[in-house]
Amino acid sequence: MIRDVNRGFKQDGDRVFGGAGLKMMRLARLAADHDLTGLEFAIGIPGTVGGAVYQNAGCWGCEVKDVLAGAEGDGVHWQPADLGFGYRTSAFREGALHGHLIAGAWFQLRPGDGHASREQMATWTAERKQTQPVATKNCGSVFKNPSGDSAGRLVEAAGLKGAREGAALISTKHANFIENAGGATAADVRKLIERAREAVLKQFGVVLETEVEMVGREKPRS
C-alpha cells in the first residue's frame, strides 16, 4: 500500500493547498521547500490542516486566518470572509458552518528564501521543546489565553502545576498542558480542567475558556 504523506499537497504560484489530513508542520516544510514564506508559524501547530482551519489555530503571533486564501468541502469553496474567524474559533466550530466538513484549504504565501524559513522553524521548534511538554502524551493547549494574560501563567499561579486527577496531570513544564501519565481517561482530564477553571476563577476572577473540545461520551473507569 502506498501512503500519501503529503495528503493532497498542491502548489499554484504563490499559493499552496493542503488536504484536511495533512499535518500543518508538514505543510510548513513543503512550503519552504518551494521557497514560499508565511507558513513558518505552522511548525508550532501539531494538528492537521482541517483542524487548524476549524479552530483558526495559531502560534508565535500568527493565525491561520492571516494566510488562508480559501477552504473547500461539501463540494463548496468558501472565501475567508465566509469563515467567521475569531480567536481559536471559526464558523465551523461555532457558527453558520457548524457541521460542515472541511476537505482542504488554500494558503496565500510569498516568494522568499526557503533556507531562511527552515532556519526560523528550527529556532522556534527548539524554543517550543524548551517551554512545552512536546515529548509527552497531551492534547495541546487546554485553555484559550484571556485578553492580556496567559492561561498557563494563571493556572501555575493558582498552584496547580503538577496537580493530578487519576492518571492525568497538569504539566510541570507548562501549566496550560494536561499530560497523560498512563491510562488517563476523559473523565480524569475533564475533572482536571474543571479544577483548574474553578481555582483560577476563585483566585483571580478570570473565567478560562477551553481551547480543546470534549466529544462523544466518557468511558467510566473500571
Task: For residue 126, give the amino acid letter.
Answer: A
Catalytic residue, chosen from 88, 117, 171, 197, is: 88
Question: In the annotation, is 141 catalytic?
Answer: yes
**If we measure between CA atoms, which residue out of 192, 142, 198, 201 comes closest to residue 164?**
192
For residues 28 and 39, the answer to whether their CB atoms sit within 8 Å is yes
Question: In the annotation, is 211 catalytic?
Answer: yes
Catalytic residue, chosen from 90, 117, 141, 171, is: 141
* Dihedral sign (CA 31, 34, 38, 40): positive
Question: In the annotation, is 117 catalytic?
Answer: no
Helix axes 24-33, 114-131, angle to 10 degrees: 150
Active site residues: 88, 141, 211
